Amino acid sequence: MTCPAWLDAKFRVHVLLWTMLSALAYGLVAAIIPNPVFARQIAPEGFAIVVWLVSAPLMGVMGASYSSPWVAAPLASSPSGEGVGEGVGVPIVLPGQTAPAAVRADDERTTWLGGVASFGAFLAIGCPVCNKLALLLLGTSGALSIWAPIQPVLGAASLALLTATVVWRLRLRASGATCAV
């Protein structure tokens, strides 16, 4: 089975590298992976491990959609002479060209959504009493009684946003409307 041009071998390698980086970075900082630098006061809950393991590949695909060079879909000519993604109607941005305003707006939107979702996943997997902001605003008992019950909901919302961002990024990539950063 052959991969679509936008899901080539380089893209898959970038996905693997970004996934490993995300899993390692989030796992170490949230102390899900035991390490001498960061420690947890409370052992990670089951949902935190699930959010960590599911968000890492999603962040991997998202990161790869920015870092991996893309392979353009076959060009079809348009009246303006500009190449158009096959059946999609989105201009293909070749390296060295400036993306149309609509493509740049989509790219900025997915960047913003992906960043919020990734940060939400980080907050969801962290120790509730190790979160300095929650500790400062709520105190230790508030962090345990108010923040801890919110974390699974935050994790689910983050996974939903990450999934939506990845779908959006892959659609942009499939249309040929994205280029490597």
Where along the chain do its domains lie?
5-175
C-alpha distances (whole Å) from 46 to each of 2, 72, 130, 161 are 37, 41, 17, 20
| Amino acid letter, 179 | C
pTM: 0.74
Summarised one tens digit per residue, pLDDT across range 114-170 is 889 999 999 999 988 888 888 888 888 888 899 999 999 999 999 999 999 999 888
